[in-house]
Every structure is written in structure tokens, then in C-alpha cells.
Structure 1
């Protein structure tokens, strides 16, 4: 056996038993690098722990068993301290709303507290551990956690868009809402929701970044793609006033954090057009065997999170997408005749009680349009078997971010008849008056948002 073959055999044997091969002693980190690492570990570690979506996504299937409220448990544990800080320092009261909104006052106070603790902790840590040369092993584990956390969140975003449930097609009520009544966020949601292929492609880019991040060998490319994706998300959140600015900004910073150790190599390749050396990113697994085991484990972890996100997106698709349950009179109906107490009510724009249009879009919800085009959404118990609708009161419209200018609280019980698919009649009591409403169906596809086809050639823009 030759010396080369023998050396290779000894090396393979060392890998098989999991022993660490001889490696040169890592270079001493610069003082500023050590301080920056301590701060990033304390700050982003706390952010990943306390910002609900990041922790919740990593639970995978357990998240469905625990319920979405479990994601707020870390914040609830420190809520008394946050309330004290908000009153003493900022003079405002805070409350945790489990609404999924990430820019609540309490989260801004939390971010301030995390920043103060990270700065103080970095100062104390730097003073007590000033002689340490580097933190390569700790940095390897830390970057692994950051990478998996970022990948999980990108997968959550991507699945929601790929199945077109994050920004659904504009609802029937949205079709009747004047453009000027839409909030900037509603404009963004309608803009993306009206083009399902565009939303799917956005989701595919985020899913691709997540898959690349879950695989160690492609993590660098995944971090680059995640940086582009999160930058776009942050720009949209900032310019359309979407209340997820805290999360999107920190996802962008996390992607930059993963790219920071590779900055010299990226500069040589992308800016100087030169070759690169080996990666300098710390990684906790050094032997061949453990690297393979770690890679398979990370891929399996990604599959675990992906299965949960796909399941959640499919559930949202069935309950809120095109295949969701629809009410008996699903559609938009024009009130051609309105009779109150036996007398026809003329369609005057000054009459706030006469209905102009009725929308049945979601189960147990009725939206009607007044004569001045104000849209009012109310809760309703719809009994399909008895053809009965009991109006309860005001209720926000699901899937819509456009709020009506003012709301009323009508009470009453109406029965409906549908002699043919394009006509219906509502009779009963409404606000103490006996009413009869004759309804004519309006085809939703008559709106440009629903019936404008794709064009390869256009001589003038279709505005």
C-alpha cells in the first residue's frame, strides 16, 4: 500500500469514528468583531424568542395543536415589565392584542427593552470576557439557529403566497368599494390578489430561499435570495403602511447577519471579479460524518416545517379561498325595488335607510350599500333550510382591509326566495318596519378587475 493510500485510509477512518482532524488554530478576532458578535447574539437571540411569528413557525405541526395563542406566551410572561416601562418612560399604556399585527405598541416597547438589555449585556460580557480570542464554536451554533429561523419564516411567507391565501382575490364587497375609500394596505392587497400568478411567483421566490437555507451547502445562495425577498417585503410594508415593519426589518437584518462572515468573498466575486478562498463561516460540525448527519437533520427539519405550513395554507384555502363555503344567495344584488310598510321607497341619495346593493360573500355575513355608496357589513345568522336571515349587528368584512365610512346596526329577520338564478326577494322586518326588497343579480365578472384578460399587445394602456 502506498503512503498516499495509507494516509487517505487513516483520514477516512478518522471521519468514520467521528474524530476531529487536525486544524490550524483560528485567528484571533478583532476587538470590534468580538463586541459586535456579543451584541448580535444577545439582540437577535431575544428577537427570535419574543417576536411571535419566528418562534411559532419553528414549532411546525405542534403549532396547530398548541394554537396561535401560544405564540404570544413569551411576550405575556414579560408583559407586566413592558407595561411598567411604557408608563414610566413613554407615558402610554400598552396592551397585547392577539390579532396577528406585529407593529403593536407593546412590541415597540419590547424592542426598546431588548435593545437596552443587549447593549448593557454586551458591555458586561465584554468586560468579563475581554481576554477571549474568538467565539467560533458559539458563532457556529448561533448562525445555525438564525439560519433555520429565517428559513422557517420565509417558508411561512412563501406558502401563504404560493397558495394565494395571504392576499386573496378582491372580495365582492371590495369590487363595490370606491378606490378612494381603500387604505394603502388595501390597495396593495387588491393589487397582488387580482393577479394570482404574480402572487404565486412571489411565494415561489420565498420558498426557494427557504429551501436553499435549509441545505448547508446552498445556505449562502439562500441568504442572498432571502435578502432580496425581505428587502422587497420591507419596502412594501413601509410604503403601503403594512403593520409588519418590525418583523420584516429584522428578517432583512438576519439575512445580512448570515452574509456578514462571507462579505470578503462576496466582495471579491461580485465587485472585484476575483476568485475566492474557502468559506470562513463558523460551523459547529467539523467531521465528515457529523456534517452529513447535520445536513440531513436540517433538511428533515425543513420538511417538518414545510408540511405544517402547507397544511395551514390548505386550510386557509378551503376556509377563505375560492373553494370556501358560500352563502345561499352568494353574489352581488342590486335592489331594484324597496318597499317599506307597503310604500315604495324612492332611490334618493339622501336616504340613509334605503339599501342600494346587497352582497352575500361570506357565510353569516351580509354587506349592504346605502344610497350614498357607503358599505355596511353586519353579522347575520343565515338558515339555508328555512330561507331565513337574522341580522345581528356590525361586523368587519373578512379578507378586506377597506373599512366603511360609517356603520349602522340594523336589526331584523328576513326571509328570502329565489325564483330564478338572477332574481331574489327579501321580505320581513327591518328596524321595526315591514320591508320587501326585490333583488337583481349583478355579474361579478362585469367588473374590470374580474374580466380584463391578459394582452400581449396593447396600443394604449388600459387604465
Structure 2
């Protein structure tokens, strides 16, 4: 395989007179107009795309600022949904990207882009190409794609996107895990693997921020986003809309180089040097633009690293932990002075208690059901206060009821392996004797790497 490479100046290749004299085919003009409108609207309205460019300022504005365009459009989107799909939609502050309102948004963007393409083609029917507009468009799409790849990558290089399985997950039956929880656990259990995934995404971002390595960066981004989309589709991760459009953006950035790549990679033929789709036509302007793009990448990276490091300190393995951190079995459960036997038919008695985070505890009933309850810890007075969430019952009841148990415990640690909880739970006096469960008993916490194995470690 040979590739023709020359040392001639690129200035002539970027002269508007030469490039603008080539007429585009009708399909190319229609495809560009549609992609320009569709991705332009989608990237502007879809919360994470443009917001990542705000960098540190975005962190100061807060997470809810991302959803400002969708909140403003919510009445119109709900109207469309009710009249076309027979259901109303609303924006939930969950950060999930596959909410019904976003699917309605994509539908509206598609329809508007189709209509806009038709009108544009009629009103501008004498124009035979859009090379100047396309060069600016590709620049913007490339930078937006690079920002998203950097966002994905930093979340894995500082492994907070898919953290190590929690103590509660260790107690959860595999059959009770959702497909997404299985994916998150299998990636989070291997920190080097997650960091390598992040390194690939960061590499794609860096290459996209450098104009002359755009094609290589877009190729790597295409591979990365393809894997992300496949995982989202097959493990039911609610980010299918975003990942599919990142894949589309990778294809758009690669489009000007598609013929050269096909000649080299598939046909094993030589090809001329690429004519980079710059909107800048002098070496000086190209250098200035390259510096600005690199600075933009650094601006985004600093904000993402600061946010990732904060998430690591507050939610990673070295985060502040409750005094009784660990998994404890309830060896003795006394309720109103009477010892409660460990019967699997008992829906009240606790079997196991998990202390993993400062804002919640998880207890396991005798039937192995796991219940997480918001809690407050007072390390000075050795108290744990359970906070009952309140939910509205159905119309037949017409009242509110507590979803979680309400109570206060005084905890006392008798030694490294034993503790006692004494207090009130749902109006009853209880005493719980606890025995610590060794975390190394769980293979996910104790299994080590082996060069030599005589049989699979299943």
C-alpha cells in the first residue's frame, strides 16, 4: 500500500477560487443542507452537547443550566406529543437522555430539518456548492464531538462514571441486576479496563482538537462511539439518543475524507494528500486557529478533570465513610424485649445491614430483599437517624404514607468485628447485634490477577 505524500505548500489547495469552482452533486447538496440543519438544531437543543464547551463556567452555572432550552420548549413539545402520539411529556431532573421528551424533540428537529431543507433547496436552487459554509460547519461539529469524547474519556480515566461495585451490589443476586447494572459492575470491577476505555476516548478528542489529525481522530471517535452505542442498545443504557448522534457526528467529520480512506484502506491504492476543510486560507490564520482550538480543548479538559477529581474525592474509594463502614450480619434481633427468630417468612426482621455511604443505609430482609433508606450520621453522639421518604398513595387512599421505616439508633462498636444498634424503629424498641462480614469473602473484592491458571476462574 502506498500513499503519495508531497511537501508542496497547502496554500493553493485552500484558495477559494479553486475549491469553489467544483459543482456538488444534487444529492450532496441536499445531504449537506439536511445535516447542517438537523445536527445544528440537535446540538444546540440537546443539553450536554454545547454545554461542555462552557468548561469551568459551566460548572459554576450548575447542572440544571444544561436543560434550559428543553425547559423553554417543554410546552410546545408536550403539545406535539399529545396531538401526534396521544401522551403528554415532561422533563425529569434525572439526567437521563432517553426521556420521552427528548424523543419528541428529536422528532421535531427531524421534521423541521426536512421542511427547512426543502425550502432552502427551492430558495437557493442556483447555488451549486456550500464549501465555505461546510468548512465552518465541519469545524464546529468537530469541536463539539471532541468535547463530548473528552467528557466521556475523563469520566473513565478518573473512574467515576462506572465506579467499583458498591457493598449493596455485592449482596444483590445476579438475577436481580438490570442489564445496565451488570454492565456498570463488570466495567467498574476492573479499574484498568475502564481507564483504558477512557484513554481511547481522550486520544480521539485530542486528535480531533488538532486540525491536521482530524481524520485519525474521527476514525477513532467512530470506533469509540460505535462501541458506546452498541453497549447502550444491548444493555439498555438510557443514552441511546446521544450516543447515536455522536456516531453520526463522527461520520460527518469523516465525510470529506471518505473517498481517500476507501482508496487506501479497502482498495490498497495511492491517494493524494488531503485538502483539509479549513475555513482559514493562510498559514498564519491556520496557526492561530490551531492555537485557539488547542486552548479550547485545554479549557474543557481542566473543567472536566476538576469535576472528575471532586467526584472521586466525594464518591470514590477514598471518600468519607460512615463509622461502621462495611457489611454486617444481624446475629440477634430483639424487638420490644422479645427476640425475633431468623425466619425467612418474617418480613420485618433484618438479616444484614450495609453501611457504605454517609447519607443512607441499606438493610436486607430475611427474604433477601434489599431496602435503602436515607439516613443521617452523628459520629460525635454515635447516632443514626433514618429519614422516612413520603410518597402520595393512589386516589383510593387519598393520603400520604411513609415509604421507608422511621427510627433512630445509637451505635456502639464493641470491637473490630462486633457492633450493637439500640433505639427505636417504627415505634418499637429494638436492639440489633451485628457481626462484621469479611469483604474478602466476595471474589470481586479478593480475586487477584493470575498469569497461570489450569481452569477458568468462574
Settle same-fold status: TM greater than 0.5: yes
Is 2:212–2:276's contact at 8 Å kept on the other side of the alignment? no
Is 1:331–1:442's contact at 8 Å kept on the other side of the alignment? yes
Query: Does residue 1:261 correspond to 2:263, yes or no?
Result: no
Query: Does residue 1:84 correspond to 2:93, yes or no?
Result: no
**What CA deviation, in whole Å up to 9, does each residue of 1:298-348 have, x standing for no partner?**
001000000011111101101110111111111101111111111111100
Query: How far apart, in 1, do the equivalents of 2:16 and 2:428 lie?
Result: 88
Which residue number corresponds to residue 106 of structure 2? 111
* 1:36 CA drift (Å): 0.6
Is 2:20–2:131's contact at 8 Å kept on the other side of the alignment? no
Assess, with a 3 A threshold, how the Cα gap between structure 1 residues 24 and 60 changes in structure 2: closer, same or farther.
closer
* 1:427 CA drift (Å): 0.5
Which residue number corresponds to residue 141 of structure 2? 146
Query: Does residue 1:453 correspond to 2:451, yes or no?
Result: no
Which residue number corresponds to residue 398 of structure 2? none
> Partner of 2:223: helix, strand, or coil?
helix
* 1:409 CA drift (Å): 1.8
> Partner of 2:281: helix, strand, or coil?
coil
Which residue number corresponds to residue 92 of structure 2? 97
TM-score by length of 1: 0.92
Which residue number corresponds to residue 398 of structure 1? none
Which residue number corresponds to residue 60 of structure 1? 55
Aligned length: 439
* 1:22 CA drift (Å): 6.9
Q: Which residues of 2 match residues 244-283 of structure 1 at below 5 A?
A: 244-283=239-278
**What CA deviation, in whole Å up to 9, does each residue of 1:193-242 have, x standing for no partner?**
00000000000000000000000011110000000000000000000000
Which residue number corresponds to residue 394 of structure 2? none
Which residue number corresponds to residue 386 of structure 2? 391
Equivalent of residue 369 in structure 2, options 363, 374, 383: 374
Is 2:19–2:131's contact at 8 Å kept on the other side of the alignment? no
Query: Does residue 1:167 correspond to 2:167, yes or no?
Result: no
Equivalent of residue 352 in structure 2, options 342, 349, 357: 357
Is 1:341–1:434's contact at 8 Å kept on the other side of the alignment? yes
Which residue number corresponds to residue 440 of structure 1? 435
Assess, with a 3 A threshold, how the Cα gap between structure 1 residues 389 and 25 changes in structure 2: closer, same or farther.
closer
> Partner of 2:429: helix, strand, or coil?
strand
Is 1:377–1:394's contact at 8 Å kept on the other side of the alignment? no
TM-score by length of 2: 0.93
Assess, with a 3 A threshold, how the Cα gap between structure 1 residues 379 and 21 changes in structure 2: closer, same or farther.
closer
Q: Which residues of 2 match residues 115-126 of structure 1 at below 5 A?
A: 115-126=110-121
Is 1:332–1:441's contact at 8 Å kept on the other side of the alignment? yes
Query: Does residue 1:129 correspond to 2:124, yes or no?
Result: yes
Assess, with a 3 A threshold, how the Cα gap between structure 1 residues 101 and 142 changes in structure 2: closer, same or farther.
same
Is 2:263–2:271's contact at 8 Å kept on the other side of the alignment? yes
Which residue number corresponds to residue 206 of structure 2? 211
**What CA deviation, in whole Å up to 9, does each residue of 1:244-288 have, x standing for no partner?**
000000000100111111111001100111111132453200101
Is 1:376–1:408's contact at 8 Å kept on the other side of the alignment? no
Query: Does residue 1:315 correspond to 2:310, yes or no?
Result: yes
Q: Which residues of 2 match residues 270-349 of structure 1 at below 5 A?
A: 270-349=265-344
Unaligned runs of 5+ in 2: 1-7, 391-401
Query: How far apart, in 2, do the equivalents of 1:332 and 1:109 lie?
Result: 44
* 1:454 CA drift (Å): 0.9
Query: How far apart, in 1, do the equivalents of 2:198 and 2:134 lie?
Result: 30
Query: How far apart, in 2, do the equivalents of 1:37 and 1:112 lie?
Result: 19
Which residue number corresponds to residue 220 of structure 1? 215
**What CA deviation, in whole Å up to 9, does each residue of 1:364-422 have, x standing for no partner?**
21100000100000011211111111111259xxxxxxxxxxx9521111100012121
